Every structure is written in structure tokens, then in C-alpha cells.
Chain A
Amino acid sequence: MDSRRSSRAVIDPKVRQVGFFTSAPLPPDRTQSDPPDPIRSPPLADASSPGNSLSPVMIPPPRHPSDSLLRLPHSPSDAFPPPSPTTTTTSLGDFSDDVTAASSPPPAAARVRGRGSSVKQQGAASSFPGGGFEVPPSVKAPSSVPASGLTTVSVVKLPPGISENAGGSVSVEVQSDRALNSKPLKEKTSKAERRAIQEAQRAAKAAAKAEGIKTPAVTALANAKSAKSTKPSPQRNDSAVVVAASEKKGGDRSVEKDRKKDVPHPRMQYDDKSRVQKLKKRSVVKPTEARNRVELFRHLPQYEHGTQLPVLQSKFFQLDTLHPAVYKVGLQYLSGDICGGNARCIAMLQAFQEAIRDYSTPPAKTLSRDLTAKISSYVSFLIDCRPLSVSMGNAIRFLKSQIAKIPISLSESEAKATLHSDIERFINEKIILADRVIVKHAVTKIRDGDVLLTYGSSSAVEMILQHAHELGKQFRVVIVDSRPKHEGKLLLRRLVRKGLSCTYTHINAISYIMHEVTRVFLGASSVLSNGTVYSRVGTACVAMVAYGFHIPVLVCCEAYKFHERVQLDSICSNELGDPDSISKVPGREDINHLDGWDKSENLQLLNLIYDATPSDYVSLIITDYGMIPPTSVPVIVREYGRGQLWI
């Protein structure tokens, strides 16, 4: 990580600098590999000062109230004791509370537990009727029923490794696959064949290098060469391989590899047969693919809806390696119990917090390496459940960099406490405080007598409206909603309950209702560096109509959802929802013209989840760094993105 960052300062960055940017090329200490220092705050002022002169919209002068707000939770001592030797014991106690409770054996004397059964246990099992049934004296027997002891009658003698194998852990499977692939090559081939294979591998490698894509062959080869790694897990991403390779081959290549890393990884294309096959092998959920896919969107994952949930449910006990909290979140994503960028991100981070709390480093492994692999496996499970949102991607990147930064000298409990507080801080600063700052900014744009229009249900917009109402501003809200999710209804319910005066309509009536609107507030799933707003499908339509009526469109988006990607349309990257949900009308059984549609070859239903609003239609983006025009998004991404944003 550190070597990459230092080299980035030397090599020309691949990302073109768009929009206005500051004269100071880089903040001072970016090239240094610094230990995690939670007190250091990013230099905000140098971005906003030229902004005042250039942008038509105000970027607030340095730091304003958010400064004090942001600094508040910095000191990790309110949540966690500082990692000093005197307090470690207490924090250890906090974390391992569950573990000790689980591992300390209950008072029952007859209870014989454990996989690695010794001869003695076996004896107890075979002499079963012996003294097995005595009542443990120390246990309080509730009511009339005497407490009974347990007798182990059957013990699994297998070593733990085998049971893990049977547990269907993905990593082991893949490993054995690889072993199968590589071994016969070595053993059975003649000299000429070996040579041919070598040639082929070399050619493949060269080709791969030329393309800048890592083919599996190369990965496998690299793995084989860095044979020290005893257990190559599939989650280990390229970086580990790159590191291993670069250690062998010296400096110049590593620079080349680093440059490759700077280019964003090509996204998975689901119309690429071979890659999809590979992905399927890894995936936990093993979904069946939908048959009637819309031609234009074939590159997006589309699965037969309703098959994933039962499969995942029935696999409950097979997924031993997963933490229950992560499993639960995945299930909630899959079933649609949780949606919305912020909520999904918070749910995921909280699950990771729990997983980290229960984590213990296996012997002969380092925490940073092993935990990264673990988190990656969790992430790939979550992706199987539902594709990641940009916000989640950024949060994961943050977490991984935080794990990588943990000094090796730190004890496990300290490291876990650090990570816990890091995640806490991310949630607090990047989501909750950011929302508060956004609310503060946006409220200044609401005047008495305004009619505000919002689309769908955005958590930031909801907070703005509620806050403005609490301030006593007189305004009316128009909530525009759309099928099939009807998220606006929930928002409407909450707003009406708070006493706001609301109008509820569907997107079909947008051109009519837009006459009376004075401002449009929209939420966003992500804001891309060309100013494109990536949001719930229908947002673009609302923004364009508003633009047509010369009504300002204000997009509220936390800065952690910004992404350096550039996207011109909503085709290349999107998510496909359940096509059934648009063919069925809830509550209207009589509208069943599309029943059995999936048998028809000629009909393809398309249920897009997101769309991209071009920056032309967006007047203003309200973010935690101030109110900026869409053209200024690259500045935020450049100055506060990547390492900077995550301190």
C-alpha cells in the first residue's frame, strides 16, 4: 500500500484532473507512510479558498461549524480506553466476554465435549451407561424438574481440518482445484509436453501483461512460484500476488504493476461466459441465471428471482466460516429488508464490527493479513447477495486500509479496539455528522413559502425536511414516488406524522406537479467525478423535468459516496431488480396480463434499479464539504478521496 502511494506521486496519475483544482499538487504528507493518527484532520482550507473565486455557487469558507462538529468524536477515549498497558485488560474483557462465557465449561460434570477427543473421552463414550446421569450439584434446578446431566454418546474423532473441509468452505475447494490443475502437469508429462506447456504459459503471461488483465493462469503461476503461501485463499486479491511477484523480480516491474493498479479494475461483465463460470465456482449462493435478459443489459448480473433466498437459507449451517452478523445482513440485503445507501453501509459496518469483535487470529498468522482475507470473504458473500453500492465499496476500502495500517507490534485486543473505534468513527463522521452538515447547509436554501419536491426516499433529504420544519419554516413538500418499491410512502408516513404538509404523487404526474414546485431536493446513491448523479431510477427524469421548468435541483450526497469513476449513461453499470415486481400490481389481482410471461421468448422485462443524471441537470450538490457545483466533484474526489478522505 505504502509503496504504491509513494510511487503515485512520481508517476503521472492516470486520472485526468477535471474542473478546478488547487495549485498545491498534493497535501504535504501523502507520500509518507504515516501511522494511523486519528487527530490529524485533512487540510480543508486549500480546496475551498480558490473555490470562492471560481465557482458560481458558494463553497463555504474554511471549516465553518462542521469543523467543531467533526473534531468532537476524534478522541477515541470516549468509546475506548487508549491502548495503554494498564487498560488493555479491561478492553480485552469487554471484547472476549462472549468468548469466555462460551468456552468456560458449564458446571455439569458429565459433559464431555470437544472434537479432538482423547482416548479418555472415547472411553467415556463406550462405557456409556456408567456414571453419566448424575445431577450436577451446583446447578439450580428450576421448578420441579431436576436438572439433568449430559452424556456424550458419540464423538467425532476427525481432526478439525477434515470437518472444515466437509463444511464446504470455499477456500479449500478452490485450493484443491488448483492443486489438481497443477499437479498432473508436473507428474505425467513427457519432456516435449512440458516444454509446450511452458511455452503456452509464457505466451499467456505475455498476453496478459499486454492486456493489463490478470488471467487466472498467471495468478495460479504466481501463486505456485511464491510457494511459501500454504493456503492460497480465493479472496486474496491481486495485491497480494503482486506483492509476492514484485518481491522476486525487483523494482522496475513493481512500478509497472503499480501503474496497472492505478487503473481501475475492469468491472465484471456478466456476458463473458468464462468469467461467469469462474465466478459461479466461487460464489456461495449459486444463483440460477434468468433466461430472458434484455440484450442491452446482458453484462449485468441477473438471476432468477426467488431462488437465491431458499438456497441461502438452507445453507445456513454450511456457512460456518461466515460470522452470523454478516450472514444476517446478507440475508437482509437479499430479501430487500434493508435498502438505501446509508443504511446498507451502516448495517454492513456494524456487522463487520461484530465480526471483528469475535475474531481471533489463528496461530502462525498475522492479524492484518488474515483479517483482510476474512473481510474479503465476507464482502464476496455480500456481493453474492446483492451487488455493492458505491458507499459500501468506499467503506470497505477504508476498513481494509485501516487494517493494513495496523502496526504489527500492536497486540490483538488493541488492534481490534482500534478497528472498532475506526469503524465507529467512520459511521459517525462520514455518515451521521456528514448528514448533519448537509442539513445545516441545505436548510439555508429553504425559504418560507417554498414548495419542495423530492423523489423516493432519501435519508438526507428526510433529515433536511424535518430539520427545516423544526426551525419553523413554512413550506410544503411534494413527494414523488414510483412503482414498484413505493419507497416514498414510508417517507410520506413519517413526514405527515411530524406535521409537515405533503402532497403525494407518482412520477407519471411529474410534469403537472412541477409547475408549483420551487426547489427539488434529491438524494443520490453516488456522485461520479464527471458530476453525474447515480441514483434511484427515475431521479434523472425528475431532474430533467425540473431543468425544463427552470427549477433548481439540489442533490444531497455525503462525500463518502463520491467516486472517481466517470459514467456517461446508466447502461454500463447498473443493477437489475426482480422483473416480476414490475409485471405484478400489488392489490390488483385482476391485472394479470403478464402472468406466465417468463415462458415467452419474445418478452423481456427490465427492472432497472439506478439511473445516471447528467451533471447539466443538477444545479448544486450539497455535501459535507459544502455546496458545490457538479463540476467541482473531482476536487472533492481528488483532495478528500482515497487515503485523504479516510484520514
Chain B
Amino acid sequence: MDFQVVVLAGGTSKKLVPLVSKEVPKALLPVANRPVLSYVLEQLELSNIKDLIVVVEGADAALCVGGWISAAYVDRLHVEVATVPEDVGTAGALRAIAHHLTAKDVLVVSGDLVSDVPPGAVTAAHRRHDAVVTAMICSVPVSGLSEAGSSGAKDKTKKPGRYNIIGMDPTKQFLLHIATGAELEKDTRIRKSILRAVGQMDIRADLMDAHMYAFNRSVLQEVLDQKDKFQSLKQDVLPYLVRSQLKSEILINGAPQGQQAKENGNDKVSYRILANASTPSFHELYALGPNGSAPVRRTHKCCVYIASNSKYCVRLNSIQAFMDINRDVIGEANHLSGYNFSAQNNIIHPSAELGSKTTVGPHCMLGEGSQMGDKCSVKRSVIGRHCRIGSNVKVVNSVVMNHVTIGDGCSIQGSVICSNAQLQERVALKDCQVGLGYVVSAGCEYKGESLARKEK
């Protein structure tokens, strides 16, 4: 279908410290005991996309990601990993691999997207309109949505204020305006020419950019070439394309403009027949100008695909999102996890050992080889592989990664405990993040803190 797929796996995101580290880049953060990147790759594999380019920031991270992919997807996918320096941004990453892109269109997917929206839907919308860019947008996830009680209430207050303002035409097919969170504080400026051409604009604040884009390759490369300053696809490239859609400065080698270029008799007639028969979008009407003579103004189309509400679509770009996704994937969006749930609606690996009077509630997951002592209780939590958990431990709404040792009498609520961490006896954690290999000494109580080893 003449599409190339680029997965932007990122590097070690600063926002996710202390969860990420040199050894565990963002792409490999476990979601229900699977790296988050696997959700994207599997969704792509499901759509029969076998050739991928995965772009990773930083050589160390690339080594980790590449190693994991080659182990997990050998014989299944044909993946190429490209390394880019850190902090080049998404646009910079694409610039770096631009010479590898040859297909007509490029699908750019963020590696931290956990979604069951078929990528084909985005690309099909893109092709249908001959668009320059098609962005997938989805509804903003509500943090702590299903949990009315417990720690959910507190999360809501510190929900990050990252909003998108998205303007669409009444048919909800074209993107007219997009502003991301940083710009929101200021006044929002909307192009008058666009507003005049469309007549009516739907402005939505409850939608967000899911960071899955289909780009026309030549346009993308041209924009990246011309605008050296552009750092991010989401904040620079996409708003630029949307802004300039009615006075396009880019040369499109694609179909619609190419047809107009043919000025010789019969082709023009057939083009006119075609154009007359199809319902014109505002782009065409605007291009025609008020007199309806030959098209004089250059336009390009920016389309959107709105993921329906029944689909799950969240990005793992904050610690809160990490917890939400972990909870949802073993909870209400459990078709994504790819596991079979037991009758109790949880997943307990057969090799896991439970002590007497230990209960594992629904929407829980217990990884392979983990051991739990007596009288423990686990609710709505994910526990990784080979964890050793003592007696009388309560784990609620938390994520415990692999090889974690938890002493007797601990209580863990709403926290993330990274691999190889050690919790000694009677530790009480609430809304904390414990970094890789950190040791929490006995009897400590923490609330809302981020604990990590000092960087050497």
C-alpha cells in the first residue's frame, strides 16, 4: 500500500523519572509485564505491517530496545532500529532518518501509544482525501476514571494541565486548528482566512492528539528541510501544516495538484468532470476563488481521524498515565493485554506461589515465579516476575516490577516500585515512586515522594 511505518520510541523521558533509567528506557517500561512498545508493535503486526523503522533516542537506549526487539520479534517482524542523539525532538528524529523514507506516505506512531485503534483507519482517511497530514485524535483520558474511591480522588487534583484545543470543520474530517498545552496559557489565535473559508468551526477541548500521524512523505521532508527550527511534530510541524493549509507553500507532487498542472485540453476536461462530480471540500472552493476560474490558490488538506469512544487510546507520557494504563490494561481494556483472564478476572501465572490466606483480587496480575507470603492482599495491581513478597503485605493500586523484594508487613498504595528495588519490613508507601534498585529501609513511611538512587 506504499506506506512506511516509523515508530518513535523515544529515549529516557525526563517526565518519567524515576521510572526510567539507562537500563530501562521509556519504550521498555512494563505495562502489564510487557514493554509498552510491544503494544504498538503488536497493533501494527495485527494490521499486517511487517516492515518497521523504530527510532530510539540515545545509543544506550537503542541498544536495549534493539536487543529486546530482536529477541521478541525475530521471525515475526522486520524491524530496523535507528539511533538519534538525545533531545532532537520528534521532528529531529524524522530528519535523521529522512533518507530512509521512500514510500509515498509515512505513518509515524509514537512508541508509547497504547491503543486498539487500527492504524489502517488513519491511513485510509489519509488516502481518501489525498491529505498532506492526517492526525489521529482521541478523547482525553480521565485519570483515575474507574476508581471512585481510594487514591483516585487525590490524583484528580494533580492532573496535569496538558490540554489540546482542536478545531475541526463541521464534517469532522479536516483539521483547522490545533494548539497544544504550552500555548494554551496565552490567547489562541485562529486564522481568519480558514474560518472564512469553512464558515463554521468546531472547537473541542476534550480531544487530544494521539500522536499517530500519516504524512505525505515529500511534504514532510520538505517541511523538515526548510524549517530547521522545528523540534517536535506535535508542536511545530503539525500546527504549521494546519496553519498554512490555505496558502500552501509546499510543492506537492501528489495527485490533486499534479492533475491541475496538466493544462492540456482533454485531461483538464476529465479533471473537471471528476471535480464536479465530487462534493468539494472547502479547500477546493477556496482554491477556486470567488470567481470560480482556474484554481489559483494553492491549498493542502489536513485531515483528522477521530478514534471512537469505544476504542482505547492513551499515551504513556506521565507517571499518572503509566499507572492508569497499567490499571486499564488488566482492567477494562483487558483485550489489549493479550492474556487470558481467570474466572476471578485476574492473571496469576501458574508458577507463582501464594501463601495461605493470601488473596489476589480481580483486575490483578501476578507474574511468573513470584512468591507471596501468608495473609497478603493484592488489589488492582500488577506484580512482575520473580518478586518475593513477605507476609502481611497489602498492595493496592500499584505497579510492582520484576525482581522486587518486599518485606513483611509492608503496605503499598498507589505506588510504582521499579525492578530490583527492595522494601524492608513494615514500609508504608502511598503515591510514591521507587526507582531502580533502591532500598527502602525498614519502618519508613513515605507519601507522594519519588525515591531513587543518586546518579553516580
Is the A/B pair a real complex? yes
> Which A residues are closer than 8 A to B by beta carbons?
73, 101-102, 106-108, 111-113, 115, 125-126, 128-129, 132-133, 136, 139, 141-158, 163, 166-168, 310, 312-320, 322, 324, 327-328, 331-332, 335-340, 342-344, 346-347, 350, 427-428, 431-433, 435, 457, 459, 462, 490, 494, 497-498
CB distance from B377 to the nearest CB of A (A): 41
Given the complex, which residues of B lie within 8 Å of A312, measured CB to CB? 124
For residue B439, CB closer than 8 A to chain A, the reply is no
Q: List 18 A-B contacts (CB under 8 A).
A: A102-B102, A111-B80, A142-B224, A150-B82, A163-B50, A315-B120, A316-B120, A317-B47, A320-B1, A324-B1, A331-B124, A336-B279, A339-B278, A343-B276, A346-B274, A432-B270, A433-B266, A457-B277
Return the chain B residue nearest A125 by Cβ: B70
B residues neighboring A (CB under 8 Å) = 1-3, 47-50, 53-54, 59, 62-63, 66-67, 69-70, 72-85, 88, 92-93, 95-100, 102-104, 118-121, 123-125, 127-128, 130, 224-225, 228, 266, 269-270, 273-274, 276-280, 291-292
- B99 lies within 8 A of A147 (CB): yes
Give the docked Cα–Cα distance between A156 and B74 (Å): 6
With A128-B67, A338-B277 in contact, is A154–B127 under 8 Å at CB?
A: no
A463 → chain B closest CB, angstroms: 9
Contacts of A129 in B (CB 8 A): 63, 66-67
- Cα distance, A145 to B224, chains bound together (Å): 11
CA–CA, A139 and B82, complex, Å: 15
Cα-based distance from A495 to B171 in the complex (angstroms): 25
Q: Chain B CB within 10 Å — which of A155, A317, A350 has the most? A: A317
Partner of A142, one of B93, B95, B280: B95
Partner of A339, one of B59, B103, B225, B277: B277
Question: CA of A163 to CA of B76 in the docked complex: distance in angstroms?
Answer: 10
Q: Is the CB of A125 within 8 A of B121?
A: no
The listed residue (A151, A157, A167, A313) touching B125 by CB distance below 8 A is A313
Q: Which residues of A contact B123 (CB under 8 A)?
A: 316-317
Known: A166-B48, A312-B124, A318-B47. A152 touches B274 (CB 8 A): no
List of B residues within 8 angstroms of A128 by Cβ? 63, 66-67, 70
Shortest Cβ distance from A114 into B: residue: B78
B124 to A316, Cβ gap below 8 A? yes
Contact yes or no, A154 B74, CB < 8 A: yes
In the complex, residue of chain B having the shortest beta-carbon distance to the beta carbon of A429? B266
5 nearest interchain CB pairs?
A316-B120, A343-B277, A314-B118, A313-B124, A340-B277
Q: Is the CB of A459 within 8 A of B80?
A: no
The residue that B128 contacts in the complex, of A152, A318, A332, A350, with Cβ under 8 A, is: A332
Is A143 a contact of B228 with CB atoms below 8 Å? Answer: yes
Residues of A with C-beta under 8 A to B97: 147-148, 150
Give Cα A331 to B74, complex, Å: 35
Tell me which residues across on chain A come within 8 A of B95, comparing CB atoms: 142-143, 145
| Cross-interface CB contact of A133 among B59, B69, B79, cutoff 8 Å | B59
Tell me the bound Cα distance from A142 to B227 in angstroms: 10
Question: CA of A331 to CA of B1 in the docked complex: distance in angstroms?
Answer: 14
A320 to B269, alpha carbons, bound, how many Å? 32
Our count of residue pairs bridging A and B at CB distance below 8 angstroms stands at: 215
B residues in contact with A113, CB < 8 Å: 78, 80
Determine whether the beta carbon of B120 is less than 8 Å from that of A317. yes
- Interface pair A150/B1, CB less than 8 Å apart: no
**Bound: A432/B266 CA distance, A:** 7
**A residues in contact with B121, CB < 8 Å:** 310, 313-314, 316
B100 and A153 form a contact (CB under 8 A): no
Q: Are B270 and A327 in contact (CB under 8 A)?
A: no
**With a CB–CB cut-off of 8 A, which chain A residues contact B74?**
125, 154-155, 157
Which chain A positions have C-beta within 8 A of B127?
316, 324, 327-328, 331
Contact A153 B98 (CB under 8 A): no
B270 touches A431 (CB 8 A): yes
Residues of B within 8 A of A142 (CB): 95, 98, 224-225, 228
Chain B residues whose C-beta falls within 8 Å of the C-beta of A433 in the assembled complex: 266
Q: Given A319-B1, A490-B279, decide whether A498 and B124 contact each other with a Cβ distance below 8 A.
A: no
User: Residue A145 contacts which of B53, B96, B278 (CB distance < 8 angstroms)?
Assistant: B96
Residue of B nearest to A428 (CB): B266
**Minimal Cβ-Cβ distance residue in A for B77:** A154
Identify which of B48, B125, B280 contacts A317 (C-beta below 8 A).
B48
In the bound complex, how far is the Cα of B228 from the Cα of A109, in angstroms? 26
Closest partner residue, chain B, to A112 (CB atom): B80
Q: Do A156 and B75 touch (CB < 8 A)?
A: yes
Give chain B residues whose Cβ lies under 8 Å from the Cβ of A126: 70
Nearest A residue (CB) for B276 = A459
Q: Which of B1, B47, B78, B120 contacts A154 (CB 8 A)?
A: B78
A157 and B75 in contact, given A167-B48, A324-B104 (Cβ under 8 angstroms): yes
Cα distance A113–B72 when bound, in Å? 19
**6 additional contacts, CB 8 Å, given A112-B80, A148-B84, A343-B278?**
A106-B99, A151-B66, A152-B79, A163-B50, A432-B273, A490-B279
The closest CB in chain B to the CB of A122 belongs to B74
CB contact under 8 A between A146 and B279, given known A133-B59, A152-B78, A317-B48: no
Assembled-state Cα–Cα distance A462/B92 (Å): 50
Most A-side CB within 10 Å, residue of B73, B95, B270: B270
Which among B54, B278, B280 has the highest number of chain A CB atoms within 10 Å? B278
A234 to B43, CA, bound (A): 30
Known: A143-B228, A315-B120, A343-B276. A335 touches B270 (CB 8 A): no
Determine the chain A residues whose CB is within 8 A of the CB of B120 once the complex forms. 313-318
The complex places the Cα of A462 from the Cα of B100 at a distance, in Å, of 48
Would B276 and A148 count as touching, CB distance under 8 A? no
What's the nearest-Cβ distance from chain A to residue B451, in Å? 32
Q: In the assembled complex, how far is the CB of residue A354 from the closest CB belonging to chain B, in whole angstroms?
A: 9
**In chain B, what residue has the closest Cβ to A325?**
B255
When distances are taken between beta carbons in the complex, the residues of chain B under 8 Å from A154 are 69-70, 72-79
Identify which of A150, A338, A498 contacts B80 (C-beta below 8 A).
A150
A84-B84 Cα distance, complex, nearest whole Å: 51
Q: Are B100 and A108 in contact (CB under 8 A)?
A: yes
Judging by beta carbons under 8 Å apart, are A490 and B1 in contact?
no
Name B76's closest neighbour in chain A (CB-CB): A156
Residues of B within 8 A of A346 (CB): 270, 273-274
A331 close to B128 (CB less than 8 A): yes
Given contacts A142-B95, A318-B48, A331-B127, contact A343 B274 (CB under 8 A): yes
Known A-B contacts A153-B70, A315-B120, A318-B48; the reply to A73 vs B273 at CB < 8 A is: no
**A335 and B2 in contact (CB under 8 A), knowing A156-B78, A313-B118, A317-B120?**
no
A63 to chain B, nearest CB (A): 20
- Check if A316 sits within 8 Å of B1, measured CB to CB: yes
Return chain A residues, CB-CB under 8 Å to B93: 145
Contacts of A350 in B (CB 8 A): 270
Q: How far is the CA of A265 from the CA of B75 in the complex (A)?
A: 47
**Are A462 and B276 closer than 8 Å at their CB atoms?**
yes
* Cα–Cα distance between A128 and B83 once the two chains are bound (Å): 13
Q: For residue B78, which residues in chain A have a CB less than 8 angstroms away from its CB?
A: 113, 115, 152, 154-156
Contact between A338 and B274 (Cβ–Cβ < 8 Å)?
A: yes
Asked if B82 and A320 make an inter-chain contact with CB atoms under 8 angstroms apart, the answer reads no
Known: A146-B96, A324-B2. A168 touches B48 (CB 8 A): yes
| Chain B residue, CB-CB nearest to A459 | B273
Neighbouring A residues of B69 by C-beta, 8 Å: 153-154
Bound CA span A469–B420, Å:
83
Q: Complex: how many Å from CA A112 to CA B54?
A: 14
Q: How far is the CB of A585 from chain B (nearest CB, A)?
A: 16
Task: Give the distance in Å from the alpha carbon of A585 to the alpha carbon of B49 in the complex.
Answer: 41
B49 pairs with A328, CB closer than 8 A? no
Q: Is the CB of A327 within 8 A of B277?
A: no
Q: Which residues of B contact A125 (CB under 8 A)?
A: 70, 74
* Bound Cα distance from A157 to B99, whole angstroms: 26
Is B273's CB under 8 angstroms from A342's CB?
A: yes
- Complex alpha-carbon distance, A556 and B167, angstroms: 44
Q: Which residues of B contact A102 (CB under 8 A)?
A: 102-103
* In contact, B292 and A498 (Cβ under 8 angstroms): yes
Residues of B within 8 A of A111 (CB): 80, 100
